Amino acid sequence: MQITGTMLIGHDDVAGTEPAFRAVDPATGGTLEPAYGGGGQAHVDAAARLAHDAFASYRAGTPARRAAFLREIGARIMGLGDVLIERAMRETGLPRARLEGERGRTVRQLELFAEVVEAGDWHGVRIDHAQPGRAPLPRADIRMRHVPVGPVAVFGASNFPLAFSVAGGDTASALAAGAPVVVKGHPAHPGTSELVGRAIRAAVQAQGLHEGVFSLLFGADHGIGLALASHPRIKAVGFTGSRSGGLALMRAAAARPEPIPVYAEMSSINPVYLLPGALKARARAVAEGFAASLLGSAGQLCTCPGLLVGLDGPDLDAFIDAAAGRIREGAPGTMLTPSIHRAYTEGVQRLSERPGVAVRARGPAPQAPNQCRAALLEARARAFIDDPEGLGQEVFGSCALILRCADEAEMLRVARSVEGQLTATLHLEPGPDDALVRALMPVLELSAGRILANGFPTGVEVCHAMVHGGPFPATSDPRGTSVGTAAILRFLRPVAYQDIPDAFLPEPLQAANPWGVPRAERR
Amino acid sequence: MQITGTMLIGHDDVAGTEPAFRAVDPATGGTLEPAYGGGGQAHVDAAARLAHDAFASYRAGTPARRAAFLREIGARIMGLGDVLIERAMRETGLPRARLEGERGRTVRQLELFAEVVEAGDWHGVRIDHAQPGRAPLPRADIRMRHVPVGPVAVFGASNFPLAFSVAGGDTASALAAGAPVVVKGHPAHPGTSELVGRAIRAAVQAQGLHEGVFSLLFGADHGIGLALASHPRIKAVGFTGSRSGGLALMRAAAARPEPIPVYAEMSSINPVYLLPGALKARARAVAEGFAASLLGSAGQLCTCPGLLVGLDGPDLDAFIDAAAGRIREGAPGTMLTPSIHRAYTEGVQRLSERPGVAVRARGPAPQAPNQCRAALLEARARAFIDDPEGLGQEVFGSCALILRCADEAEMLRVARSVEGQLTATLHLEPGPDDALVRALMPVLELSAGRILANGFPTGVEVCHAMVHGGPFPATSDPRGTSVGTAAILRFLRPVAYQDIPDAFLPEPLQAANPWGVPRAERR
C-alpha cells in the first residue's frame, strides 16, 4: 500500500487544490513527505453526494453483509502490516507498543460492532399488535424500528491515530448503524490516515458496496471541516478534539437550514477524589497509580486525571510526596505535535500563575524537541471554588492540580463546582469513607459520564456498558457515548410503521423476523 | 377547585407582575375571567431553582413511589370533574365529546407511564462483569444505567388543552424519567391549565414529594418562554407548537453557555399518497376517510393530512369529486383562538394564490366567529416540485392541497421534495401497487417519523411503538418521539459505573437488583 498524498473520494484518488501541508515528526521537528493538498468545497460536495448516493443501498444491506464489511476493514488494517505502525510512530511520536496496542483495539472495536450488527438490539424493535376488537376504536398494528440518520461526518482525533481516527469508534459505529461516512483526517497524521483509508476503501470494493460508503478528506485549516458539517447531505457529526473545535462545529450545525446532531467529545479534567480512608490505608499505592495514569502517553488522553481533591493533612502530604517523586523521575514523552507541545507548555505556565497555585513537581528537563515536562501543581480548594473556570481548564498533557480541602464539606463544594466531565474517580475505603461516598455519588452522577472507584480513568474499555461521554462541556451532547457499543445509538432515529402489509415491512418488523432480531412485542 | 388567575410556583400561588391577559371564548369572541398576570424573570428563577432543589430527592425515589405519583395525578384530574371540561370547552371551542375523550387519553397516558416506570426498561441497564483473569489486562466491572438530565421546561400546546398541555405527554414522560417539570401554560387556555396544574400540585403534596417537582408559569408573550429555556437550572425543553416558536427555542437553547436538548414538535403537512390501485378499487371510500380526517377538530391537529398526491386520471377525479362534496357540506368547526383563525384564513388565501394552485372546494360560509371554512386546493405536481417551500407550508386547520402527478416518476419526485414530516400515508392495493410502494417506502422512511397504510394519520395511538416525531422541520430533533412510551428516553442520559462497590451502586445496578429491572448482562 502506497502513501500518495491524495484524498480518497469514493473510488478516486483526488489531489487537493487548497494549500498543502505535510506531517511533522515531533521527535525531530522535521517534516515528512508527501505533501497533502487541502480539499475545498468541491471535494466536500463530491464526497457528501457520493455518501448520499450510497446511503439507500448501504442501509438496506443484510446484517451479515454489514458485519462482513466491518470485519474486512479490520483484516485489511492488519494487512497493512508494519508500514502502518512505522508511519504512525513517525507522525505521532507514540511508541511502537502503544500503537500496536491501539491497532489491536481498533480491530477489536470493528469486530465488536460486527457482533452488535448481528445481535440486532440496535434496531430497537417494538411491536404493538393490532387490537381489532378494542372499543370504542380498534387499535392499529404499530411497529417501531431504528433507521440511520444519514451520512455522517467524522473528525479524526490527534491523540489516537488509529482508535479515534479514520477507522475509529465514530466510523465503526456509524458504519454499523448503516450510515456512510466522510472522514476529515487529522492533519497531524495524514499518512496514517491515508493508509487506513485505503484499507477501508479496499474493503468497500471487496464487499461490492457502493463507493460512496467511505471517503477521506484532508485540509490544513478549519474551512473544510466547517464545510463538511454544513453540507446538506451530511446528517450527523462525530468529533473528538478541542473545545474550540467542537464549539465551532456545534455552531455550524445549529446554523444550518436543517440543524443536525453533533457528537463532539471536547475536554475534561477528570477529577479524582482522594477520600480520607483510602489515603490513610494506601496513600503511596494510590500515588503510584496516579503517576502512571498521568504520565502515560504524555498525558495526551481525554481521560487523563487532571484534578485531584483530598483533605489537607499528613495522608495527603504522603500522597503528594510520593506522586511528586514519580513525576520528577518519569521519562519525558514526546508530544503529538509541536502545537500541542506549545499549548501544553503555555497551559502549565498559565495555570501555575493563577492566584494560589504553586508548582509542586516538574518532570526532568526535556532532552529533545516537543517533549512533555510533566507538572504537578497544588492549591487550596478555596482557590478552585472561587475560580472554577480559571483553575478548571484542561491542560492537554501530563498536568495535574491537587486541591487541599479544609474538610469534607469543602470537598463536596469542589465536586459541585466542576463543569461537566467524562469521568469522576473515587479512591475510597469501604467503612470509613461510606458517608462521604454517599454524599458524593449523586453529585458525580450529574456531572460525569463515568464514575470509577479505586482505579484511574485512563484506559477506556470498549464494551457494552461503557459511557465515554458526559455533560457539557465534556461533550456537546450528554445523550451519547463515543466508546462502546452504545455509540451506535447516536446515528439512529426511530420510525413507526402503522398497518403496513407484511410484504412491505422492513425485515426486522416482518412477521417471520427473517434476521432474528430481538423484539419487544405487546398484544 | 377554584380558578384564581395565579401561577403555581411550588406550593405557592403567585400573581404575575407582567402585563395580564385573559382567555378568549372563540365561539363568541368574548373574554373570560379571571385575568392572568404574566410571569417575569424572577418567577422563572424561582420555579427553576425549586425544580433544581427537588431534583435530587425526586430522581432517587423508588419506581413504586413515582408510579403512584403519576397515577395520583390522573385520579386528581378526573376528580376535577365537569368544571375542567366546561372551562376547556369555553377556552377552546372544542366540543364536549372531544374534550372528554382527550381527558381519558391524558389519564391513560399517565397510567401508561406509571407502568413504564415500574417495568424499568428505561433504566437502560447494561452490565459487563469483571474479567479479573483477562490478559494482558484484567477487565473492570462496568455497569450502565440512565439518569434524568435534570429539570425540564414544558410548553403546552394550544390544540390539545389536556393531552399535550400541562399534564400532557411531555410532562408525563419527564416526570416518569425522574425530572421535575416547569410548565409554561399556553395563554389560550389558562383556566384549564391552572385547574390541571392544581391537580398536579395536590398530587405532589399528597405523595409527600418536594414542592419543586412541578410549577406552572404564565405569560402572554414569548419572553417568559425564552427566559425559561435559557435558565441554567433547566436541562431540556419539550415543546409542541409553531415552527417559529420552536425555532426561537432552539436558538435560545443553542446560545446558552451550556446548550441543552430541545424537543420541539413544530409543523407537518403529512403527505398522503393515493396509489393507482387503491384509487381504482375505492376512490370514494378513501375520500370519505380523508374528509373525516381533514375536518375533525377543524383540522387543528399536527397530523392533519394537508397534502394528497395522486396520478392524474379519472380515479383521481372521482376521489376529488367525492372529497369536495364532503368538504362543501361539512359543518364548520370553531377554531381554537382568533389568531389561529386569522392565520388559517390568511394561509389558505396565500396558498391559493401561488402559481398553478386552484381552489377546488370550500366549506360552508361561517355562521359564527372564528369558524374554519375548510379548503381543498389542487395543483399539478410540477408546481410543487418547482416550489416545495411555497406549496409545502403548513396551513394549520382544515386545508389540503391535492397534487396531480403525470406519472409514477413524478409521484416519487414529489416524495423526494417534501421536507421532514411527522407522518406519510400510503393508500395502496397489494398487487397492482407493489412496485410503487417498494419505490416509495425507502424515501418515506427518511422523511417521516411514521408511515401508515390505508388509514389516516390523525388519531395518534399512545403505545410503545408509536413515533410522533420526524426529521426537521417536523421536529427539532429526529431522535425523539413526543407520543408513546419511548418519549421518556428524551430526558435521560447514560452513566457508567466502574468497579463501584455494590453498597454504593444505584438500585438498578446492585447485585440483588432490588427493583427487578431488566438488565443486559455479559460475563
Please give the residue of chain A at the shortest CA–CA distance from B136.
A101
Active site residue B304: no
Residue whose entry in the numeric block shows the C-alpha cell 417575569: B40
Checking if the pLDDT of A20 tops 90, the result is yes
Catalytic residue among A72, A91, A111, A302: A302
Question: Which pLDDT score, from 0 to 100, does residue B205 have?
Answer: 98
Catalytic residue among B18, B72, B265, B419: B265
**Cα Rg of chain B (Å, integer):** 24
The amino acid sitting at B182 is V
Superfamily (CATH) of domain B7-21+32-125+147-266+477-509: Aldehyde Dehydrogenase; Chain A, domain 1 (3.40.605.10)
DSSP B131: B
Checking if the pLDDT of A491 tops 90, the result is yes
Half-sphere exposure of B158 (CA within 13 A, CB side): 23
Q: Nearest Cα to B334, choosing from B370, B300, B363, B287?
A: B370
Domain B271-453 is of which CATH architecture? 3-Layer(aba) Sandwich (3.40)
Q: What is the CATH number of domain A7-17+36-127+147-266+477-509?
A: 3.40.605.10
Residue whose entry in the numeric block shows the C-alpha cell 522535521: A30
> Residue A514 in contact with residue A166, Cβ under 8 Å?
no
Residue length, chain B?
523
SS3 A344: helix
Instruction: Cite the DSSP H helix spans in B184-275.
Output: 190-206, 223-230, 243-255
How far is residue B36 CA from its own chain's centroid? 25
Helices A190-206 + A63-79 axis angle, to 10: 140
Inter-chain residue contact A449 with B140, CB threshold 8 Å: no
Q: Residues B58-70: what's their mean pLDDT?
A: 98
The cell numbers describing B187, all together, are: 395563554
In angstroms, the CA B112 to CA B116 distance is 6
Mapping DSSP onto H, E and C, the string for A19-30 reads EEEEEECCCCCC
Checking if the pLDDT of B516 tops 90, the result is yes
The amino acid sitting at A87 is R
Inter-chain residue contact B149 with A478, CB threshold 8 Å: yes
- In chain A, residues with a C-beta closer than 8 Å to the C-beta of B58 are none
Q: Indicate the helix (H) or strand (E) that contains B271.
A: strand B271-274
Residue whose entry in the numeric block shows the C-alpha cell 479524526: A156
CB-based contacts of B504: which residues, under 8 Å, 6+ apart? Answer: A428, A437, A438, A441, A453
Question: Which pLDDT score, from 0 to 100, does residue A221 have?
Answer: 86
- In chain A, residues with a C-beta closer than 8 Å to the C-beta of B500 are 426, 451-453
**pLDDT bucket at B13, cuts 50 / 70 / 90:** very high
CATH 3.40.309.10 domain range(s) in chain B: 271-453
Q: Exposed (0-12), middle (13-18) or buried (19+): which is A407, by Cβ within 10 Å?
A: exposed
Active site residue B302: yes
- What does the mean pLDDT of chain B come to? 97
Q: Which of A65-69, A191-195, A221-225, B7-11 has the lowest mean pLDDT?
A: A221-225
The cell numbers describing A37, all together, are: 493538498
**pLDDT bucket at B272, cuts 50 / 70 / 90:** very high
The CB density around residue B95, as the number of other CB atoms within 10 Å, is 13
Q: How many CB pairs under 8 A join A and B?
A: 196
Encode pLDDT of B383-415 as tens digits. 999 999 999 999 999 999 999 999 999 999 999
In angstroms, the CA B489 to CA A171 distance is 24
CB-based contacts of A364: which residues, under 8 Å, 6+ apart? Answer: A328, A329, A330, A331, A332, A373
**A126, A261, A420 member nearest B465 (Cβ):** A126
> Residue B487 in contact with residue B261, Cβ under 8 Å?
no
Encode pLDDT of A394-433 as tens digits. 999 999 999 999 999 999 999 999 999 999 999 999 999 9
Encode pLDDT of B191-226 as tens digits. 999 999 999 999 999 999 999 999 999 998 889 999
Residue whose entry in the numeric block shows the C-alpha cell 421546561: B153
> Residue B259 in contact with residue A420, Cβ under 8 Å?
no
Inter-chain residue contact B451 with A496, CB threshold 8 Å: yes
> Residue B163 in contact with residue B297, Cβ under 8 Å?
no
Instruction: Cite the DSSP H helix spans in A61-151.
Output: 63-79, 82-92, 96-119
